[in-house]
Structure 1
Amino acid sequence: MRSHNHKPPHYSLLFFHLLSSLFLHSVTSKIHNVLKRGSSLSVEDGSDIITSPDGSFACGFRNEGGNAYWLAIWFTSSADRTVVWTANRDRPVNGKGSKLSLRKNGVMSLTDVDGKEVWYANITANNAQRAEVLDTGNLVLKDPQGEIIWQSFDYPTDTLLPSQTFTKSNKLIATRRKGSYYTGYYSFYFDNDNVMRLLYDGPEISSIYWPNLAFTLFQNGRTSYNSSRIASFDDIGRFLSSDLLQFNASDMGIGIKRRLTMDYDGNLRLHSLNSSSGSWSVSWAALSQNCNVHGLCGRNGICTYSPEPKCACPPGYEPSDPSDWNQGCKPTFKRTCPDSEQMKFVEIPNTDYFGFDLTQRNGPISVNACRDLCLQDCRCEAFSYRQIGTILCFTKSALFNGLQTQQFPGSIFLKLPSSVEASPTTVLHGSDALCETIAPTVSIGSPTMYNTMTKKVRWVLLYSFAFTVGAIESLIIASGLWFLCRKRSVPAKVEDGYRVILSHFRRFNYAELKKATDNFKEELGRGGSGIVYKGVLRDGRAVAVKRLGDMYQGEQEFWAEVSTIGKINHMNLVRMWGFCSEGRQRLLVYEYMENLSLDKLLFTSNFLGWKERFNVALRTARGLAYLHHECLEWVIHCDVKPENILLDSAFEPKITDFGLAKLSKRGGRGSNISRIRGTKGYMAPEWALNLTITAKVDVYSYGVVILELVRGVRLATWVVEDAEEQEVELTRFVSILKTKIQHREESWMEDIVDPRLKGQFNRFQAAALVEIGLACMEEDRSKRPTMDTVVQVLLESEAE
């Protein structure tokens, strides 16, 4: 008897499955894991591709409209199948008859419809057995033994992938525009001085725009003292280059697909893929404000924010090509030289054009005088007038790289024929006018209007300056509060550790310290803050007791501040064991340093060797970096000099006197230090200019110490000439040093480094120290590096 569950075969269903499997086999058979010798990919079948083993990448033909096709590698899981490499970016092939072949002679080539070779893999060997796409996105040719003899990773286009090495022979070159594969004008590359840069190389000009040209390499956190010229980033999103360029993805971690791309708009960005949506997000960018990209708006164009970057034409100009903002703007008038008619000037506030300066004037120059410089030169198309610390006047022979931003404290004044109407700004990219109001047109013979304009500029500059100072002070206060909050959030176990450390910190009575120092008998040194004596405590510890002057505050305030300093602990800071505050007596008790202060071993016959000097530079930088960036209380030393750098028995440096500025009378937490504190020759210019005191005063002083370590003599010396004190040796040394470096004298290093070393020093380290010293001593404190950056550079040099 038949079972009720048994059914006769459904022959039509079986036949359907058979046909389906045959059909699917005919399609999937064109998806290759390997392109074997003698095989090819056809442009006419979009399914004819090579895929990586994990399916993340595919290689085949891509079409972005029309009949043009490119051989490309792309992400298969991104929504737009993002291309990361193209073989023939400037020579697309026809949509019919074109193919990629791995010939029987071992050559992989791309041919057009007429059989003409458009591209081939450049290898000297002819034993290529197969082509594969690896899980990394690398298209490779392998020989019979499986060894890679050619790879696409050696020839990047606009994208770098994780584990792909970037060298001096590589460039990332952006596409011409979004959705295009053609070579554009922006590139990321290693320059001849071993530094990674971004370059605009357009039809009319070439201009480097990153790293920031206003700063030195060192201030940008880079170094040219390397010869390897190599960079890469890993699977978790960390990028590292031999010039010290280093950054991390904001979503750093495993399991995320990433690409570093030189984008069509001139910005270098790290993109991360959202695996669920297939969309990309930016996890790092070289430029936070894209209007800083050069060439973005072409000749005469101005890049502005509304709030996204857009291009606009200034008054008197119109778009050269409304469909292409890179073509810039053209004048609506005929420019002649000499000028054929009376000229006028139109002010565009908060705007500048980079480069092409005919003349530059610094100092007390009026806007009228700057205008006259432009009027007297028919080549002048505009002049820039601004005040950044001092008044600056630039006349311009051409208008490129225009930028309008509220943060720019100046204006550009366009030179136009009087007959030209100053119409509102014309928008190139976007529909809204970007400059809604234009300053009044000012004719040559209108002094009243110029006086009004000059007053306006002065008030704008005054408000800008006040805003900047307020912002800096707010930042300082916020930093202090952040560190205090950080202190309060310390875990309980860490707090227990602090209590253990502080158990050695105590309050001494005056009689106890008087006995320990044998009535202050043995003097170790003296300075502006007080005199230091050697002592021995009852438990046998050798100590240094500093007897402070009279400028320090009352007992309760002194106790509150000194207890905070007592918590600061770092291997390159002298340990404070305690204090004394009785009546007018204020004393601090420190650990004793066997080899005393740096000046006693650097400026005497018992000089330090090079290894010890470099170690002093590095460890001192670490101590200052800790004070500025890491310790529980934000501390500025204010008196960094060799006398305040002590050496223990192993010649390890430790900074002393830190926090004494904190003990001095202040107007309140976060306010300016109320009195000048420091030592002539080591003091930053802002002390004399009565500017807000920041950690950059320590950076300046450290720079002087660094140069003294290199030279081996006291550079911070002063003499009296014509009844005025003048800093002679340091100024002379820095001038000579810059001249030798500028003229690239071969023996400059031997002439500069302490002759007592008799040539026994590390040239790479010496060059790094000189570069650091000069950078730290920049008059403009915004150009000085932070101590964190100094430590990073020295650590790189230490390995040499």
Structure 2
Amino acid sequence: MLLQTQNNKPNKMAQNLTRSNLFVTFLFILSTFFFRISTSGTDIQLGSSLSVSNLNRTWSSPNNTFSLRFISLNSSSFSLSITYDSVAIWSISTTVDAGATFSLLSNGNLQLLSGAGSVMWQSNTSNSGVSHATLDDSGNFSLKNRSNFVIWSTFDHPTDTIVPSQNFTVGMVLSSGSYSFFLNKTGNLSLKWNNDILYWSLGLNDSVSSNVSNPTLGLQSIGILSLYDDKFTSSVIMAYGSDYAESGDILRFLRLDNDGNLRIYSSAKGSGNVIVRWTAVNDQCQVFGYCGNMGICSYNDSGPVCGCPSENFDHVDPNDNTKGCKLKRAVADCPESVAMLQMDHTKFLTYAPETSNVYYVGISECRGNCLSGGSCVASTILADGSGQCYIKTSNFVSGYQSAALPSTSYVKVCNPIIPNPPPSEQGGERKKLQGWVVAVVVLGTLVALIVLEGSVWWWCCRKSPKFGGLSNQYALLEYASGAPVQFSYKELQEATRNFKEKLGSGGFGAVYKGILANKTVAAVKQLEGIEQGERQFRMEVATISSTHHLNLVRLIGFCSEGKHRLLVYEFMKNGSLDCFLFSTEGDQSSRVLSWKQRFDIALGIARGMTYLHEECRDCIVHCDLKPENILLDDYYSAKVSDFGLAKLINPKDHRYRTLTSVRGTRGYLAPEWIANLPITSKSDVFSFGMVLLEIVSGRRNFDVSNETNGKRFSIWAYEEFEKGNAKNIVDTKLRDCEVDMDQVMRAIEVSFWCIQKTATQRPMMGKVVQMLEGIVEIEKPTIPNVASEGSMSGSVSAFSTLATSAPNPSSSSSFQTTPLTQP
């Protein structure tokens, strides 16, 4: 019985399996049938059309998320677009009139016709086997053949927008007006004006070691812009929106706007709101051509605005200031002489390939060369330490004006020059009248109050012995250009919590972290050894505060109360350069600077020192340049600190100088400090050479180790350079990083030129900048002072002996010796 049951069991299983298979097959056929019905229901057949006359008719995706339709721009202008809610993600750039139609012709060609029957756009897919079209739920509109093979699609022909699921490859272009967005073969993202001027680029970071073979850019649905390539183990993040990975039914898209900026947007379904989540060019005025030809971009309280250089110009379109400006009278038709209109704090944007017309001349030469040059229309001279003069000879000039710009620009116009009126005078007559009334009332009230208060104060305090001193202080601060804020000692005590958090100390005193009353974080330096009188101290501080450069630490204010002398500087988040260069590889808290960061830092120091030596009204010699006095901001840009302080520490009798008064640091002091020679800017050049060598090597120039055969590192480095072993000099912490050996060689050669024994052999800092940038050719340096210990005699050899000892670089030298007569 049991045997029979077992024998019959396979037959029953087979029967059940057969019935099950039949049922599954039936369901499959049924689902396929319904799927085909559904698919055919969303297919757009040949001969279908849309028209402006019926804006309610659309071609939609299966879930109705996306629609292809005409949208109204104004009462007489319309655009054909694919939309998500009301947001266009693909549009034909040509606008049409109220009689326009869009058709999928019987020959498979898409065609947009105006009301007059003119062809405004077409897909050029005639006789390509197109049988139907579809708009899928990702927003892709496609022309397909009977095998559903895609012959043409909007994803393959983007206009100004990329959406998730869309691949943007090399050769594709996003366009908006005169602006274009590209993906290069190297994986770089680029924005160009007029397919020529490259004004923004974003490349792969240093962490990507693979070469790129076939890059593809895509925007993930969570808002991350990623680069894909066959050689990447995973995608590389190029940018991400501020709301990335937030949940909800949200469409995120990348768009090139008509203002030339690339942005990531997000739009929640049904909200109708579009929110910017990422912007490529943070400073809109840096977008080339944003204000049109000869337009000057600046900012007001609401954002960027466009104006003209002066009233010698008119707006091309009075209704749209971004269209640019034109001269009222062409320079070629000047009835009188030609003049150069000067615009302070203004620069004309210069991007590749325009950067060839760059010269290194003074401000008067930059103006004069343009005036005398027939093809020159404008010029810009930078006051950022680079000394660069840009000559504009093109037919398109794009300007930027801001109080923060250290530059002056000139524009060639016909005499007489008619400057723009102040902003208060640019309104209507009624607004002018109201402004004058308000101004008169307010000023009258203020004057009356000031006179009254001043009279009372003078009457009460005129006999006070402090009155004269206070008057002198206020007169001094009024006289000093850009005078710093004066703090009381109590205010700085409170700001630093009674000098609790010490940031460091050096030859001029200790530095403490403080938070000022306006919540600004600052570095407060307590000066030591100040011997000037009150007035002289204030004059020197005023001089320091009037020295402004991108690569100099800014002085905020000071305190001078009795024996208390303090300086208040801007706070540098990343501290001093030595913390990055001389940390050990095993130090878990150490941060390694890439070679690019190091080279940029070296250039920044050189530019800052060039400004102090060659571009200030009075040359400022630092006297204590070292890594501890190079501070790094949030972006690791170098800023030189403690400049100008050497003049505050001079001894009372300036006819003598002893080594106890030397505030420089052993290992960075030029030989003339010891050899009774004049201390000039070339002494700083020597110190810079030592610092530059340390930036390359990550080691102190006076280090002695087995690796250097018991010699100081600076001596050993020159020997390796002579042998052609420059790689041995480079910081070992960079062994696995990308290093530009051409830049390394330039830096090494420049460092050896800077530390020459004789000051006259050392280059000026302006020349150093050019040598580092590769603008001028560098000859092979001769044997510098550090490489020939036996070549020095007398007091100079004493310097060699002192410098060979291992000093403490964070403190100034304090040699005991006989006084040396200062020339």
Give the TM-score taking structure 1 as reference length.
0.50
Looking at structure 1, the residues matched to 309 and 265 of structure 2 have their Cα atoms a distance apart, in angstroms, of 34
SS in 2 for 1:59: strand
- The answer to whether the aligner puts 1:231 opposite 2:217 as a matched pair is yes
* Structure 1 pair 361–94 and aligned structure 2 pair: CA distance change class (3 A): closer
The equivalent position to 1:188 in structure 2, one of 170, 181, 184, is 181
Q: What is the deviation of 1:71?
A: 2.7
Q: What is the deviation of 1:35?
A: 1.6
Match of 2:449 in 1: none
Match of 1:320 in 2: 316
Contact 1:139/1:153 (CA < 8 Å) preserved in 2?
yes
- The answer to whether the aligner puts 1:251 opposite 2:243 as a matched pair is yes
Q: Which AA in structure 2 matches 1:98?
A: T
Looking at structure 2, the residues matched to 428 and 207 of structure 1 have their Cα atoms a distance apart, in angstroms, of 36
The equivalent position to 1:624 in structure 2, one of 557, 582, 592, is 592
The equivalent position to 1:85 in structure 2, one of 76, 84, 90, is 90
Match of 1:352 in 2: 347
* Structure 1 pair 393–275 and aligned structure 2 pair: CA distance change class (3 A): same
Contact 1:187/1:198 (CA < 8 Å) preserved in 2?
yes
Match of 1:300 in 2: 294
SS in 1 for 2:285: helix
Looking at structure 2, the residues matched to 428 and 222 of structure 1 have their Cα atoms a distance apart, in angstroms, of 55
Match of 1:208 in 2: 198
Q: What is the deviation of 1:279?
A: 0.9
Contact 2:572/2:631 (CA < 8 Å) preserved in 1?
no
Q: What is the deviation of 1:173?
A: 0.6
Aligned residue-pair number: 497
Q: Which AA in structure 2 matches 1:200?
A: W
Contact 2:99/2:116 (CA < 8 Å) preserved in 1?
no
- The answer to whether the aligner puts 1:573 opposite 2:585 as a matched pair is yes
Match of 2:360 in 1: 362
Looking at structure 2, the residues matched to 84 and 405 of structure 1 have their Cα atoms a distance apart, in angstroms, of 35
* Structure 1 pair 574–410 and aligned structure 2 pair: CA distance change class (3 A): same
Q: Which AA in structure 2 matches 1:49?
A: T
SS in 2 for 1:372: helix
Contact 2:141/2:155 (CA < 8 Å) preserved in 1?
yes
Looking at structure 2, the residues matched to 223 and 430 of structure 1 have their Cα atoms a distance apart, in angstroms, of 57
Match of 1:408 in 2: 405
* Structure 1 pair 687–459 and aligned structure 2 pair: CA distance change class (3 A): closer
Q: Which AA in structure 1 matches 2:241?
A: A
The equivalent position to 2:305 in structure 1, one of 310, 315, 327, is 310
Looking at structure 1, the residues matched to 159 and 631 of structure 2 have their Cα atoms a distance apart, in angstroms, of 56
Contact 2:343/2:409 (CA < 8 Å) preserved in 1?
yes
What are the within-5 Å matches in structure 2 for residues 8-157 of structure 1?
33-76=42-85, 81-86=86-91, 88-90=92-94, 92-96=95-99, 98-101=101-104, 103=106, 105-112=107-114, 118-123=120-125, 126-157=128-159
Looking at structure 2, the residues matched to 359 and 278 of structure 1 have their Cα atoms a distance apart, in angstroms, of 48
Looking at structure 2, the residues matched to 466 and 208 of structure 1 have their Cα atoms a distance apart, in angstroms, of 24
Looking at structure 2, the residues matched to 240 and 772 of structure 1 have their Cα atoms a distance apart, in angstroms, of 31
What are the Cα deviations for residues 442-483 of structure 1, in whole angstroms up to 9, with x where unaligned? xxxxxxxxxxxxx99x989954228952399978643469xx
* Structure 1 pair 289–698 and aligned structure 2 pair: CA distance change class (3 A): farther
Looking at structure 1, the residues matched to 136 and 744 of structure 2 have their Cα atoms a distance apart, in angstroms, of 47
What are the Cα deviations for residues 575-610 of structure 1, in whole angstroms up to 9, with x where unaligned? 79xxxxxxxxxxxxxxxxxxxxxxxxxxxxxxxxxx
Q: What is the deviation of 1:52?
A: 1.9
Unpaired segments ≥5 residues, structure 2: 1-37, 230-235, 436-480, 483-541, 557-567, 602-626, 634-639, 643-663, 671-681, 700-711, 729-735, 751-767, 774-823
Looking at structure 1, the residues matched to 630 and 419 of structure 2 have their Cα atoms a distance apart, in angstroms, of 51
The equivalent position to 1:374 in structure 2, one of 370, 374, 399, is 370
Q: Which AA in structure 2 matches 1:478?
A: K
Looking at structure 2, the residues matched to 73 and 302 of structure 1 have their Cα atoms a distance apart, in angstroms, of 36
Match of 2:161 in 1: 159
Looking at structure 2, the residues matched to 403 and 291 of structure 1 have their Cα atoms a distance apart, in angstroms, of 6
Q: Which AA in structure 2 matches 1:385?
A: I
Looking at structure 2, the residues matched to 668 and 107 of structure 1 have their Cα atoms a distance apart, in angstroms, of 64
SS in 2 for 1:211: strand
What are the within-5 Å matches in structure 2 for residues 181-580 of structure 1?
184-191=177-184, 195-201=188-194, 206-211=196-201, 226-241=212-227, 246-253=238-245, 254-255=247-248, 256-275=250-269, 277-307=271-301, 308-315=303-310, 316-336=312-332, 341-355=336-350, 360-362=358-360, 365=362, 367-397=363-393, 400-424=397-421, 462-465=546-549, 468-470=552-554, 477-479=572-574, 573-574=585-586
* Structure 1 pair 718–272 and aligned structure 2 pair: CA distance change class (3 A): same
What are the Cα deviations for residues 300-339 of structure 1, in whole angstroms up to 9, with x where unaligned? 22111113111111122222221233432122334139x8
SS in 2 for 1:624: coil
Q: Which AA in structure 1 matches 2:73?
A: E
Looking at structure 2, the residues matched to 98 and 665 of structure 1 have their Cα atoms a distance apart, in angstroms, of 71
* Structure 1 pair 376–62 and aligned structure 2 pair: CA distance change class (3 A): closer
Q: CA RMSD in A?
A: 5.9
SS in 1 for 2:242: coil
Looking at structure 2, the residues matched to 730 and 405 of structure 1 have their Cα atoms a distance apart, in angstroms, of 49
Q: Which AA in structure 2 matches 1:233?
A: L
* Structure 1 pair 666–154 and aligned structure 2 pair: CA distance change class (3 A): closer
Looking at structure 2, the residues matched to 74 and 719 of structure 1 have their Cα atoms a distance apart, in angstroms, of 69
Q: Which AA in structure 2 matches 1:89?
A: S
SS in 2 for 1:464: coil
Looking at structure 2, the residues matched to 115 and 369 of structure 1 have their Cα atoms a distance apart, in angstroms, of 59
Rg larger for? 2
* Structure 1 pair 118–401 and aligned structure 2 pair: CA distance change class (3 A): closer
Q: What is the deviation of 1:237?
A: 1.0
SS in 1 for 2:155: helix
Contact 1:357/1:397 (CA < 8 Å) preserved in 2?
no
* Structure 1 pair 171–773 and aligned structure 2 pair: CA distance change class (3 A): farther
Looking at structure 1, the residues matched to 745 and 284 of structure 2 have their Cα atoms a distance apart, in angstroms, of 31
* Structure 1 pair 331–269 and aligned structure 2 pair: CA distance change class (3 A): same
Match of 2:34 in 1: none
Q: Determine what percentage of the aligned residue pairs are the same residue.
A: 23
Looking at structure 2, the residues matched to 221 and 775 of structure 1 have their Cα atoms a distance apart, in angstroms, of 25
Looking at structure 2, the residues matched to 170 and 384 of structure 1 have their Cα atoms a distance apart, in angstroms, of 35
What are the Cα deviations for residues 725-744 of structure 1, in whole angstroms up to 9, with x where unaligned? 9899499999xxxxxxxxxx
What are the Cα deviations for residues 481-521 of structure 1, in whole angstroms up to 9, with x where unaligned? 9xxxxxxxxxxxxxxxxxxxxxxxxxxxxxxxxxxxxxxxx
Contact 1:318/1:426 (CA < 8 Å) preserved in 2?
no
Q: What is the deviation of 1:379?
A: 3.9
Contact 2:291/2:323 (CA < 8 Å) preserved in 1?
yes
* Structure 1 pair 402–192 and aligned structure 2 pair: CA distance change class (3 A): farther
Q: Which AA in structure 2 matches 1:209?
A: Y
Q: What is the deviation of 1:32?
A: 7.2
Match of 1:26 in 2: none
